[in-house]
């Protein structure tokens, strides 16, 4: 389990509780991996991007699944709603809009812009807490 399990999840499994951990970072990372995988699939020559982030989807889905198993009922509900909105709804909306609204090059640019914006927010947000 140590290969794909961070220290946080080793602790969650060991204590059979999510304690005070939040699910949002894992949900956002799953969203990020999903969008980058879509970008890699859409962009010609983007197989490496799709492959790496496809593995990221797998790992983050395992993390979110473990979180849902060990979270208290209230946190399970909150996490489930966030997964539904961000990882299902937002990704589906992004795919539908980019497929229907734009031609190939503009579509790839729009997806890349979305992915890059999400990366900036994800990796910049810890700085806001400082």
Tens digits of residue pLDDT in 39-51: 999 999 999 999 9
List Cβ neighbours of 69 (8 Å cut-off, separation of 6 or more): none
pLDDT of 130 > 70? The answer is: no
Q: How far apart are the first and last CA of the chain?
A: 32
Give pLDDT, residue 19: 80
Task: Name the pTM for this structure.
Answer: 0.86
Residues recorded for the chain:
130
Quote the radius of gyration of the chain (alpha carbons, Å). 16
In whole angstroms, give the CA distance from residue 6 to residue 8. 5
User: What SS3 class is residue 40?
Assistant: helix
Q: How confident is the model at residue 110 (pLDDT cuts 50, 70, 90)?
A: very high
Weakest-pLDDT range from 73-77, 101-105, 112-116 = 101-105
Name the 3-class secondary structure at 6.
coil
Say how far apart CA 83 and CA 12 lie, in whole Å: 19
pLDDT for 9 beyond 60? yes
pLDDT recorded at residue 2: 44
50-57: long-range contacts at Cβ-Cβ below 8 A with a sequence spacing of 24 or more?
A: 56/29, 56/30, 56/32, 57/30, 57/33
Answer whether residue 1 shows pLDDT above 50: no
Q: For residues 88 and 96, what is the distance between their CA atoms, to the nearest angstrom? A: 12
Distant-in-sequence, close-in-space partners of 43: CB < 8 Å, separation ≥ 6: 49, 108, 111, 112
Over the chain, what is the mean pLDDT?
87
Q: Is pLDDT above 70 for 12?
A: yes
């Amino acid at each position: 389990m140590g290969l794909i399990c961070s220290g946080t999840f080793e602790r969650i499994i060991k204590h059979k509780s999510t304690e005070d951990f939040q699910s949002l970072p894992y949900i956002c990372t799953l969203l990020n991996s999903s969008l980058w995988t879509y970008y890699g699939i859409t962009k010609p020559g983007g197989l490496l991007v799709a492959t790496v982030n496809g593995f990221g989807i797998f790992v983050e889905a395992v993390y979110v699944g473990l979180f849902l198993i060990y979270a208290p009922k209230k946190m399970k509900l909150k996490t489930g709603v966030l997964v539904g909105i961000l990882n299902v709804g937002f990704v589906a909306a992004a795919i539908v809009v980019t497929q229907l609204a734009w031609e190939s090059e503009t579509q790839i640019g729009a997806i890349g812009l979305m992915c890059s914006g999400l990366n900036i927010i994800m990796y910049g947000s810890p700085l806001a807490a400082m």
